[in-house]
Structure 1
Amino acid sequence: MRLRPQQEEKLRDIGRVRHAIRLGYHHGQDDLYYRDHFDLTFWRQAGSDFYPPSADQLLREGGECPVPGGRFLEFSCSRFPEAVLWLPFNGGLLLSCDALQYWGSWRGCNWCGRCLLRFAGMRSGMQVVPAWRLRMGSRGRHPWQGLQKDFQRLLKLPFLHFLAAHGEFCADNAHEAVFTAVNRAFPKLKGAA
């Protein structure tokens, strides 16, 4: 998302922006602007080409990460590329794009937006987004079986905090909230602890 010029100045005041990371396939409309404007290294998964630019560095599970100690987890069974980024700071921070979202309230959403979110199956709290699950599940008899395995791997990461491209920051109890959301989305998921 493109910042207003005043916010861009505040970002520059913090320090030099060196990297931008695309975690979700359907995001990135302003990535080209940021790469060119800040002369940064742009990371994305192979095949995450819904928007330009091409990757300066490919995001791979088990591969390099621009944040020391951080690591990527890719949704290996989704129809479109999506990943999360785990950072080891302050008990662990999980960053997501669309797959997981935390909505503490509907502040900041207008009436129409609130209605559309609710119509799409969104609720307050942590959730595996219903529309994301439908769009990303594989075709066939068991469309979410692969996604279940990806969430099992995600739940093995130690994290206390969570932030996504949508919603709000979830502090201190994020792993428990994600565990509950995953079990609600995939009730037959085994060994998700």
Structure 2
Amino acid sequence: MKEYSPVWPHGEIKNIFENIYIVRGTNITEYEGMKIQHSRNMTIINQNGDLTLINTVRLSDDGLNQLDNIGQVKHVVRIGAFHGRDDAFYLDRYNAEFWAFGSIEKPVGQKINHSLSDSSSLPINDYQFFKFLGSSPEEGFIYCNCHGGIIFTCDSIKNWIEVDQFFSGESGRAASEAGEIAKARISPIWLEATGMRKEAFNQILGLKFKHLISAHGDVLKNTAYESVKKSILEL
């Protein structure tokens, strides 16, 4: 029997915008012998009852019931190389289609049904994927020209404005000391891990948007463009 990542504590699914939902949960990893525990978000897009999951987080049975009451999971989209531990669970449970970079490490027994590249169309109307040029491993973001414009990110731009309940005490203190608890944060740790340069963010500034939904932190409403631009200029 295939083993999946465990169910860790998470909150309830919340409706952020029309047909856009988010749920916050826990992520536990180990780095250089240290246990790291912080929060992460899954975004759910509903299009006529067909659901697309971005930055998957495995849910409990109660959470899955709540998800199923919204619609039927049809697609799983991975936009960041360092996320995806829960992709296989949803791909298997719902026989969903997998959208990802061809270069990523695939879940055991899974295939990529749709390989993402820059300016790829997605299974959701009016949503488009953009690849960060020069990122290795590859990462990108999703743009929707809806609700005044929204960008959806993975690790590239976080929005932890506080240490929430899904952090461990030690990880919360470490994140605060490292400056990771900040609005529209572009982490030097992520930049170093991907080899990204400041110029690669120019494509984001060329888009019209008001909101940011990240795999980490709160939804940044109304002032996202100004906050993201400030973070980019400070690099």
TM tier, smaller: 0.7 to 0.9
Tell me which residue corresponds to 2:186.
128
Count of equivalent residues: 177
Does 2:126 correspond to 1:76? no
CA–CA distance in 2 between the matches of 1:174 and 1:51?
A: 33
Gaps spanning 5+ residues in structure 1: where?
A: 138-143, 186-193
Tell me which residue corresponds to 2:116.
59
Question: Which of the numbers 187, 211, 214 marks the counterpart of 1:164?
Answer: 214
For residue 93 of structure 2, give the secondary structure of its aligned residue in structure 1: helix
Return the offset for 1:118.
Answer: 2.6
Q: What TM-score, normalized to structure 1?
A: 0.86
Q: Which amino acid letter does the alignment assign opposite residue 172 of structure 2?
A: R
Tell me which residue corresponds to 2:14.
none
Return the offset for 1:116.
Answer: 2.3
For residue 99 of structure 1, give the secondary structure of its aligned residue in structure 2: coil
Does 2:68 correspond to 1:18? no
CA–CA distance in 2 between the matches of 1:38 and 1:181?
A: 38
Contact kept, 8 Å, 1:120 with 1:130, in 2: the verdict is no
CA–CA distance in 1 between the matches of 2:171 and 2:59?
A: 21
Identity rate, percent: 25
Calculate the aligned-residue CA RMSD, in Å: 1.5
Evaluate the alpha carbon distance shift between residue 166 and residue 80 of structure 1 in structure 2; reply closer, same or farther with a 3 A threshold: same
Q: Which amino acid letter does the alignment assign opposite residue 219 of structure 2?
A: F
CA–CA distance in 2 between the matches of 1:167 and 1:88?
A: 22
Equivalences for residues 14-163 of structure 1 within 5 A: 14-49=70-105, 51-52=107-108, 53-108=110-165, 109-137=167-195, 144=196, 147-163=197-213
CA–CA distance in 2 between the matches of 1:35 and 1:120?
A: 35
Contact kept, 8 Å, 1:67 with 1:87, in 2: the verdict is no
- Greater mean alpha carbon deviation, residues 47-56 or residues 100-109: 47-56
Q: What TM-score, normalized to structure 2?
A: 0.71
Tell me which residue corresponds to 2:234.
184
CA–CA distance in 2 between the matches of 1:93 and 1:67?
A: 14
CA–CA distance in 1 between the matches of 2:107 and 2:71?
A: 27
Tell me which residue corresponds to 1:3.
59
Gaps spanning 5+ residues in structure 2: where?
A: 1-56
Q: Which amino acid letter does the alignment assign opposite residue 47 of structure 1?
A: S
Contact kept, 8 Å, 2:119 with 2:131, in 1: the verdict is no
Return the offset for 1:136.
Answer: 1.0
Contact kept, 8 Å, 2:161 with 2:181, in 1: the verdict is no
CA–CA distance in 2 between the matches of 1:122 and 1:82?
A: 19
Q: Which amino acid letter does the alignment assign opposite residue 123 of structure 2?
A: P
Q: Which amino acid letter does the alignment assign opposite residue 104 of structure 1?
A: I
Tell me which residue corresponds to 1:141.
none
Return the offset for 1:51.
Answer: 4.6
CA–CA distance in 2 between the matches of 1:155 and 1:39?
A: 36
Structure whose residues are more often helix by fraction: 1
Return the offset for 1:61.
Answer: 1.6
